[in-house]
Amino acid sequence: MIGGFLNEVSSVPEVTSSLPKVLLYVVEQRFHRTPDGRVWTVGHYPYSFLKRYLGAFDEVRVLARMIRSNTPPARAVVSGGPGVVHVSLPDYEGMGGVLTRAPVAALRAVRAACMVDAVVVRSPSTWGGLSALTARVRGRAVGVEVIGDPATVFARNAFAHPLRSMIRAVAIGLQSQLCRHAHAVMYVSEVLRSKYRTAGDSFVGSDVGLCEDAYAFKPRSHAPSTEIRIINVGTFEQRYKGQDVLLRAVARLAATPNAAPVRVAFVGSGRHEAACVALAAELGLADRVQFHGHVSTAGALPLLLDTSNVMVHTSWTEGMPRVLVEAMARGLPCISTRVGGVPELLDDACLVPAGDEEAVGKAILDLMNAPDEYIRQSHRNLARSRAHSEMETQSRYRDFLASVRVCPRW
């Protein structure tokens, strides 16, 4: 494997400074390519997001898993466009899939990194470390965007696998090495910067960039009194979003004497959704819970946020959750677990321990029974979310990408 890597790196012609500046962007995402050549995505990495890298580079090549599809998936949006192309990794699922497709995926990750001027890895990443190592061997710039902590992504309550401890240790080591040797690192939170240090330039700021339409015209002027309408937004693909914890907390609320009726809207989809539907029925909540699946952030999600009383986020691990920022921008009071960068977003009174369903239920009741505090949180969240406007985010990314571009070989 090492010999093949060195042969691959040494056999590819040098990218000269006369060529356009090309960025390889390595992400953990599954894209779909249709027969017309277009690439589609559900949820993450639409073309509108990837365009921000074109301000610093002439071309962006996105390295990620690819599925060939006859038609785009439901609710998919276009990911490719002028200046943005996709380099396909073989599709796989789970650790067994990673091991099975490793030779092909590793070769493609090395080959793709040999043909560009810089590599930016969105970490945690399966193949980003190999692409970054290739870039370093060839004297190219390496940037890292740290969006999560493998220490909590692969924690006992968030990830179930017989080799969990080993996978966790390897993932932590890979991310530590990535950051330590990068030219520049963008962290979504201060807590991640303190844990995964770099010898290069460091920046802190989420990748959330909200357009003006994402913001409510004004904060909420009164607290609801007749019904508690909770919204939870997150993927069901992994267990670490903790939707089961929220369901158990709601069951406690439903059994509380004289409590207002409680309803929950879940937004998101994934392989564990069916288990949560079954749990809701088992807890006697089938008539109180609605599963909306994946919805558009352009129209449907703001409407759901506006018709909810409170966002409750029960994740076991986070970097800097976009869904909380989007809810805050609608003036929605929020309650969340004290994980990752969340304490940098919310008041301490709105934070609860991960996995503590009793604390979640109490925090909801305390907020809904305190009208003045509810209104204060609405005002505070709307104002705080302004730090994540598109203008602020673009400014942070310009500085980060300018640092990535500074490489002795250019």
Is residue 50, in this structure, part of any structural domain at all?
A: yes
Residue in this structure with the two tokens 């990068």, named with its chain if needed: 182
Q: How far apart are CA 279 and CA 260, in angstroms?
A: 22
How confident is the model over 294-322, as a mean pLDDT? 88
pLDDT of the residue at 3: 47
| 238/198 same-domain check | no
> Which one is predicted more confidently, 16 or 319?
319
Q: What is the dihedral of CA 87, 89, 93, 97, to 10 degrees?
A: -170
Q: Which of 27, 60, 61, 119 is nearest to 404 (CA)?
A: 119
What CATH number does the domain containing 314 carry?
Answer: 3.40.50.2000
| 182/239 same-domain check | no
Q: What 3 state SS string does the chain have?
A: CHHHHHHHHHHCCCCCCCCCCEEEEEEEEEEEECCCCCEEECCCCCHHHHHHHHHCCCEEEEEEEEEECCCCCCCCEECCECCEEEEEECCCCHHHHHHHHHHHHHHHHHHHHHCCCEEEEEECCCCHHHHHHHHHHCCCEEEEEECCCHHHHCCCCCCCCCCHHHHHHHHHHHHHHHHHCCCEEEECCHHHHHHCCCCCEEEECCCCCECHHHCCCCCCCCCCCCCEEEEEECCCCCHHHCHHHHHHHHHHHHCCCCCCCEEEEEECCCCCHHHHHHHHHHCCCCCCEEECCCCCCCCHHHHHHHCCCEEEECCCCCCCCHHHHHHHHCCCCEEEECCCCHHHCCCHHHEECCCCHHHHHHHHHHHHCCHHHHHHHHHHHHHHHHHHEHHHHHHHHHHHHHHHHCCCCC
- Round to the nearest angstrom and report the end-to-end CA distance of the chain: 30
Q: For residue 13, is pLDDT > 60? A: no
Q: Which of 222, 244, 224 is nearest to 365 (CA)?
A: 224
Is residue 410, in this structure, part of any structural domain at all?
A: no
| 153/232 same-domain check | no
Q: How far apart are CA 366 and CA 169, in angstroms?
A: 39
Q: Could you give the number of structural domains in the chain? A: 2
pTM above threshold 0.85: no
pLDDT of the residue at 298: 64
| 145/232 same-domain check | no
| 23/129 same-domain check | yes
| 6/54 same-domain check | yes
Is residue 73, in this structure, part of any structural domain at all?
A: yes
| 200/220 same-domain check | no
Is residue 399, in this structure, part of any structural domain at all?
A: yes
Q: How far apart are CA 211 and CA 394, in angstroms?
A: 11
- Joined together, the tokens standing for residue 239 give 């267990």
- The maximal CA–CA distance of the chain, rounded, in angstroms, is 73
Is residue 259, in this structure, part of any structural domain at all?
A: yes
| 303/344 same-domain check | yes
> Which one is predicted more confidently, 60 or 12?
60
Q: pLDDT-based confidence at 17, cuts 50/70/90?
A: very low
Is residue 312, in this structure, part of any structural domain at all?
A: yes
Q: How far apart are CA 392 and CA 383, in angstroms?
A: 14
The identity of residue 328, as a single letter, is M
How confident is the model over 3-13, as a mean pLDDT? 46
| 349/379 same-domain check | yes
| 201/248 same-domain check | no
The verdict on whether omega for the bond into residue 13 sits within 30 degrees of 0, i.e. cis, is: no
Q: How far apart are CA 357 and CA 349, in angstroms?
A: 16
Q: How far apart are CA 314 and CA 339, in angstroms?
A: 9
CA distance to 175, 249, 300, per residue, from 74 (Å): 33, 31, 14
Q: For residue 310, is pLDDT > 90? A: yes
β-partners of residue 67 are: 32
| 175/219 same-domain check | no
Q: For residue 8, is pLDDT > 70? A: no
Q: pLDDT-based confidence at 191, cuts 50/70/90?
A: very high
Q: Which of 347, 76, 329 is nearest to 208 (CA)?
A: 329
Buried b (16+ CB within 10 A) or exposed e, 175-203: beebbeebbbbbbbbebbbebbebebbbb
| In contact, 401 and 203? CB cutoff 8 Å | no
Lowest-pLDDT choice from 92-96, 126-130, 373-377: 92-96
Q: Which of 65, 62, 108 is nearest to 86 (CA)?
A: 62
Is residue 268, in this structure, part of any structural domain at all?
A: yes
How confident is the model over 147-163, as a mean pLDDT? 84
Q: pLDDT-based confidence at 202, cuts 50/70/90?
A: very high
Domain boundaries, position 249: 212-387
90 phi and psi, to 5 degrees?
-65, 145
| 312/394 same-domain check | no
